[in-house]
Structure 1
Amino acid sequence: MDTQYIFALDIGTRTVIGLICKKVGEDIHVVAHQIEGHQGRAMRDGQIHDIPAVALAVKKVKTKLEKKLGVSFKQASIAAAGRALRTERGLSLKKISKEKSLSKEDIEQLKLEAVSKSKEKVQKKYPGEQLYCVGYSVIETQIDGYQISKLEGQKGAEVTLEIISTYLPQVVIDSLFEVLKRAEISIKSLTLEPIAAMDIAIKENLRMLNIALVDVGAGTSDIAISKGGTVVGFGMVQKAGDKITEALGDYYLLDFQQSEKIKLEFGKKDKVTFKNVLGIQSEVSKEEFCQVIKPAVEELAQSVAEEIIKLNRAAPKAIFCIGGGSQIPMFKEFLAEKLGLPKERVAIRDRQSLEGVKFPSRQLTGPEVITPLGIASVTDKTIDPNFFTVKVNDKEVSIFNSQKTKVAQALFNAGVDIKELLGSTEKITYTLNGEVIQATAKRKMPSMIKLNGQIGSLDTPIKSKDTIEIVTDYQHTGVKLGEIIAPYKGVVLVDSKKINLIKSVKINGVTVSDLTTHINNGDNIEINRIDNITGLAQHLNVDLDKYDLLYKSTPLKREEQISANMELISKQKESLNISEHHIEKINIKESQHQPKGTEVLANGKKLTVVKDEPKVVDVFDLLQVDITVPKGTLVLTKNKETTDFSDSIKQGDEIEIYWSGDNER
């Protein structure tokens, strides 16, 4: 049975390497290996160009390994080439409350926004390419301009978070899957070549150091950076060993296959004899060979150094080189020079330098075996598959498990807009009684996240076959008329009769009475309000020459301002002839219709909703719940049962509106 073995396949630009490994204690034992070259240039720069030809090489490796061990292999672990990776940085910035500590959920939101920014950048570089994020790392966090390594629990006014994220095109996965299908192999696990190489070449105890791993293959040079105990970034240079082969062919007039053969011979010989395409024979020394390839080697080292600086923002402390191309003469020395490092800080990692690997064969001893060994190592450590699927709102989403994957990663790959999660806002401008006013319109409530039917968060870990649901059926709230006129509302009592201070409201010249009316950008609002004694007297049709309006027994002047809830009494002026004018209270007729109020108990408070067909949303407006800083999941109940904003209310209903994670209501 093949279940006791790990079948690791490294499908490279020039060759396919297959390893059959077993786990013995903490060590990896290689029990068989096979290497096959491609026919012609079936792969270029790490990308499959001729699927049948690559499938044939894979099939040969599989068949020969099966004959060696007498075992049929149905599954293999593979890695996607670094050539396909797209990396980009993203920065998120958020104003925060100085009184509230940053939570894990806040940090996940910042990460998600930063990843969204990075994807926007990478999509501009590769328009039309279907990409999904296979991993990201936080590279810098700041609060109020100061670098802070751990954001959770911190306070301040402004927080920034920068990430570097990695994307993989769908075409890369599709071509790999098709090759294995034709070779009659299913995928046990899929990883990235830089991840596999890092896992075996730079163990976790070394990742506290700032080290760059450079895998120089035939078509590409893949780069991974470790720092602070983790892998902080991946990169790729589309130059590698083939660059040297092509320089050799151009100089001596050789075809690609012959140039490659001569290049490999110089790894073992000091002189090589060959004929060019014109039939002219040459005998070339290794010294001359080095001079011919020197410009190409220096160019390759320069490109690799520039990518390392871009990823790391500085030269690392050391470089580990792997891959067959890393053995090219002068490459290590040029790379050290371009990065300003001592020569001894750039080293080749070969099989002998690895810990915990047993490989009895004397073949494949160089750095070219590191990646296939890494594929085997990563496979052994994987509990869930590296490449799995989840459902987001019934849509199947592919997830690359390059780290402990959370809900945030799945939502991002599903294309969920971060505004759907946080509750979106927009700025609007309107005119109120001639004054131009800008306001923030709360357009949508924060969404609820459910994982397998249970309430979750962006920080909740996920696994294969999980189901995620985003509940976004909350009503749009926007800016409502009631919010705008609230500061102007109020009543006064005149001889125990209630008088509304607001006489009428017009929007764009049309009288409006519905307080839930939404205010749009550019609206003109006019509030006709009673502001002073003169206005009140005119509204009541009272002659101030004959009557006084008294507040606490004191007559008020005509220009005196009125405040809400004032209690006034009318009284005939004493100078009038009492015999001719009998004293009577003013017969006040209310100037406008007063809808009958609906009394409810909301969050323990008695409130009156003045509206013909009141709903839960009207109670929400009166309570003035702050949704700008979510404190959990918003919960709405009516008479102890779950409700929503559009539900109607009646006299005596008990309403509760609160955050599920908030202790205060």
Structure 2
Amino acid sequence: MKQQHLFALDIGTRSVVGLVGTPGELQIELVAFERQEHHTRAMLDGQIHDVTEVAGILKAVKERLEKKTGPLHKVAVAAAGRALHTISATADMDVYNRGILTPNDERALELTAIQAAQQQLATSANILHPANYYCVGYSVVHFALDDIQLKSLVGQRGKTAAIEVIATFLPRQVIDSLQSALSAAGLEMDTLTLEPIAAINVLIPPTMRHLNLVLVDVGAGTSDVAITRDGTVIGFGMVPYAGDEITEAISQRYVLDFNVAETVKRQLCGKNKKISFTDVLGMTHKVASSEILDGIRMQVAELAQLIASQVLALNTSTPQAVLLVGGGALTPMLPEALAQALDIPAGRVGIRRPDTIEGIKNIPASLCTPDLVTPLGILNLAGGRTLNFVNVEVNAQPLRLFNIGNLTVADSLLAAGIDVRTLHGRPGMGITVTVNGETHFLPGSLGQPGTLHTNGQPVKFDHPLADGDQVTVTKGSSGITPAPALSELISVPDPITVLINDTLIEIAPIITINGQHADTGQPLADRDTVICRLPSILGDVLLSAGIQPQPVVSHYTVNNAERAYSIYPVYTVNNEPATLASLIKNNDMITTGKPQLPTIGDVLGLEQRCDDSITVLFNGSPCHIPVHRFTITMDDKPATLDTPAQPGSKLAHHVISQWSPLISDVLLAADYKPLLSDGPVTILLNGRSTEYTAAVNEGDRIEVVTARNANTAG
């Protein structure tokens, strides 16, 4: 039999609240209400710890309601906000070649950021079993295009688009424990929401979400925080400090049972000036309310400070107003302490009650309390049926998606772990090569986009998703990285022909890639350095012809030490002497001949130089006089510096002395030989008579005067 009523359960840390309403055309009519507190600590901080105990409470509440409404099988529930993890993530995308950006591009960037958040969650060292979490909602903080922040990318054009989002994740075990407890109570989960979302749905409708508002649900074990701004819910948070800490402070101060301390705390909200209670020793006390309030003032301030810190961490600035709900919202002095901690006017922090809720009628006064906000929100959302599970298939893989409203194909891709960037088909990587010192950039080819189909029809990322839809994804193909041959980049020069030693030889261009010999068909890779040129000098031409220009090495023994001497062959180009650096052109004639033997002076590194002698004038003619004396032998025979040095010969070089030349040395160097007929000889040095042993210097004038010369002159 089809259930005629809407059934909502708020499974809290302290108690379970059940509401039943009858759906109408515009509103839900509230017809039944039940509440029951847990007998034990079966739940801690909003999480079910004892499924059997909680299931018993759920069953008891259900049975009492059924007496008023008839059978109840399906139920709407909410998961605790304490189980959420909120992660801020960013992503960027190269959009240089995309032209004007579309909503599809914007959506793809959003999903890329969500996947980045999932990656952060998966690699977090602070979260156990991160793979068991999935995204239940996100909001965009801002877009940016080329470092300029924008509200939207649609219609824009640029190089790099970026986004920052806040993503919220829910652990699967939260739902599993809820399902187990419900199943044990004979109930089926019909819709699932989050407790902070349910409370916001009641108190902050979409028309108010442009305001920067904070909703704080102060429960027994935790204080859940939700924030709205710019038309959306921007984040959720949780403080592990709530009403129980205040109760614990009263219990410790007056040595009370915890449940007694809880009763004392609730009486502080009334008009009683004095409160009576009995401690664990059985002694009865009657204490002024003001004294008890003074005793918990520090704990209330601490609770307010922790909530304020969470609000500022999520909101990054002071909010416009704070709405307090939940049983802990009635904690004395909390609104004032929270206003002070946030540095906002006291009138901007208020306790909200569900006096009027759009979509629900006949709310009795007994239910207009702060702790009934969340249960009424769950019932209201159950009527809209916006938060439930959607079963779909992505590439034949069954998926069960948590529906937070307006599910799209993109959400199914996200749940399936498909990287949305692979649907675009990335362009191939470009390469840069250097040819003969000139840099060439070759872009990769463009990728081919993938396809998205739902139930066989082509769709886009933002296509709405319905229960039972079959999504088929074909990933895009990436572009190709170029691998061109050298002949595709430059015009390879034609070979030249030369005649070497009467043999006609074709000289091909020199081609190297990264210093290694290559051919024109070899594919090039990124950062390759290519040389492609015709040999232009004799040395390169000979190498290309297979002739290694190598010197002829001769070995000698010089002063009993081994010495090697190298001399290159004799080269001619077109019958003219040439060197290995001589320029060569097409049809040149080249000859290579045996090298000539070096002289002894070449081997010894000696030569007759001007600075080895001085110059004087002898009888009016220049005469060079050596300034040192040495002996040279080859194979023990006298030799000179100009004597050809035979390979393997034994050379000796000894310096005899170094001296200042004398007149006698001048006569010897001038090869002067006087005749007997000349008569007596007179030697003049710079016009003055001198002896054969007189020293001479650079530039001196030496004259030989004989008797014959003198008579002739007379």
| TM value normalised by structure 2 | 0.67
What fraction of aligned residue pairs are identical, expressed as a percent? Answer: 34
Equivalence for 2:681? none
User: Does the 8 Å contact 2:425/2:479 carry over to 1?
Assistant: no
Please give the alpha-carbon distance, in whole angstroms, between the structure 1 residues aligned to 2:38 and 2:62.
14
- Per the alignment, residue 190 of structure 1 pairs with 192
Superposition pairs for residues 280-295 of structure 1, below 5 Å? 280-295=283-298
Gaps of 5+ in 1: 547-557, 561-569, 574-665
Task: Specify the SS of the correspondent of 2:489.
Answer: helix
Preserved CA contact (<8 Å) 1:2 1:72 = no
Equivalents in 2 of 1:505, 1:481: separation in Å?
Answer: 16
SS in 2 for 1:29: strand
Compared CA separation, residues 426 and 273, structure 1 to 2 (3 A): farther
Q: Cα offset for 1:96?
A: 3.4
Q: Is the 8 A contact 2:325 2:370 kept in 1?
A: yes
Q: For residues 197 and 228 of structure 1, do their structure 2 counterparts lie closer, same or farther at Cα, with a shift above 3 Å needed?
A: same
In structure 2, the residue matched to 1:598 is: none
Could you tell me which amino acid in structure 1 is paired with residue 99 of structure 2?
A: K
Following TM superposition, by how much is the alpha carbon of 1:292 offset from its aligned partner in structure 2, in angstroms? 1.7
Q: Is the 8 A contact 2:509 2:534 kept in 1?
A: no
5+ residue gaps, structure 2, are 497-505, 546-572, 575-582, 589-714
Aligned to 2:57: 57
Does residue 271 of structure 2 align to residue 272 of structure 1?
Answer: no
Query: 1:489/1:104 Cα in 2 relative to 1: closer, same or farther (>3 Å)?
Result: farther
Q: Structure 1's 534 and 122: CA in aligned 2 closer, same or farther, altered over 3 A? A: same
Alignment of 1:77-476 (within 5 A): 77-97=76-96, 100-123=99-122, 124=124, 125-129=126-130, 130-268=132-270, 269-359=272-362, 361-382=364-385, 386-423=388-425, 447-472=450-475, 474=477
Taking a change above 3 Å as real, the CA distance of residues 15 and 482 of structure 1, as seen in their structure-2 partners, is same
Is the CA contact 1:42–1:51 (under 8 Å) kept in the aligned structure 2?
yes
Q: Give SS of 1:219's match.
A: coil
Structure 2: which amino acid aligns with 1:169?
P
Q: Which stretch has the larger CA shift, 370-379 or 506-515?
A: 506-515
Question: How many residue pairs end up in the alignment?
Answer: 542
Shift of 1:99: 8.2
Q: Using the alignment, how far apart are the partners of 1:484 and 1:368 within structure 2?
A: 78
Aligned partner of 2:568 in structure 1 is none
| Alignment check: 8 A CA contact 1:505 1:513 kept | no
- Residues 483 and 155 from structure 1, CA distance in 2 versus in 1: closer, same or farther, beyond 3 angstroms? farther
Indicate the residue corresponding to 1:589 in structure 2: none
- In the TM superposition, what is the alpha-carbon distance from 1:449 to its structure 2 partner? 3.2
Q: Using a 3 Å threshold, how does the CA distance of structure 1 residues 451 and 251 change in structure 2: closer, same or farther?
A: same
- Which amino acid in structure 1 is aligned with residue 127 of structure 2? Y
Partners of 2:347 and 2:38 lie apart in 1 by 35
State the Cα deviation string for residues 111-146 of structure 1 (Å, max 9, x = none).
122222323333413142311000100112223333
**Alpha-carbon offset, residue 41 of structure 1:** 0.7
Spell out, residue by residue over 1:324-375, the C-alpha distance to the aligned partner (whole angstroms, 9 max, x if none).
1101101111111111211111122112254453235442220111111111
336 and 212 in structure 1: CA distance in 2 versus 1, 3 angstrom threshold: same
Q: Distance in 1 between matches of 2:26 and 2:485?
A: 66
Query: Which whole-Å CA distance do the structure 1 matches of 2:486 and 2:324 have between them?
Result: 66
Give the direction of change, closer, same or farther, for the CA distance of 1:361–1:472 in structure 2 (3 Å limit): closer
CA distance in 1: counterparts of 2:154 and 2:446, whole angstroms: 28
Q: Deviations over 1:10-55 (max 9, x none)?
A: 1111111111112344333211111111111110100001101111
Q: Indicate conservation of the 8 Å contact 2:514/2:530, yes or no.
A: no
- Cα distance between partner residues in 1 of 2:5 and 2:509: 82
| Larger Rg belongs to | 2
Deviation at 1:147, TM superposition (A): 2.9
C-alpha distance in 1, partners of 2:24/2:399? 36
Measured in 2, the distance between the counterparts of 1:239 and 1:14 equals 14
CA shift at 1:388, angstroms? 2.1
Deviation of 1:179 after TM superposition, in Å, equals: 0.6
**How far off its partner does 1:303 sit?**
1.4
What is the Cα deviation at residue 539 of structure 1? 13
Q: Residue type of the partner of 1:122?
A: L
Instruction: Give the alignment's TM-score, normalised by structure 1.
Output: 0.72
User: Could you say what secondary structure the match of 1:481 adopts?
Assistant: coil
1:653 corresponds in structure 2 to none
- Label 1:518 to 1:15 Cα distance change in 2 as closer, same or farther (>3 A): farther
Separation in 2, partners of 1:337, 1:484 = 74
Contact 1:10 1:16 in 2 (8 A): yes
The residue identity in structure 2 corresponding to 1:14 is R
Are the aligned partners of 1:2 and 1:73 in contact in 2 as well (CA < 8 Å)? no
Question: Is the Cα–Cα contact under 8 Å of residues 217 and 240 in structure 1 kept in the other structure?
Answer: yes
What is the aligned partner in structure 1 of residue 8 from structure 2? Answer: 8
Aligned CA distance change for structure 1 residues 75 and 503 (closer, same or farther; 3 Å): farther
2:428, 2:119 → 1: CA distance?
21
Shift in CA distance, 440/297, structure 1 to aligned 2, threshold 3 Å: farther
Equivalent pair of 1:219/1:241 in contact (CA under 8 Å)? yes
Identify which of structures 1 and 2 has the higher relative contact order when contacts are C-alpha pairs closer than 8 Å and 6+ apart: 1
Pairwise CA RMSD? 4.1
Tell me how far apart the structure 2 counterparts of residues 457 and 512 of structure 1 sit (CA, whole Å).
Answer: 49
CA displacement at 1:452 relative to structure 2? 2.8
Question: 1:553 matched to which residue of 2?
Answer: none
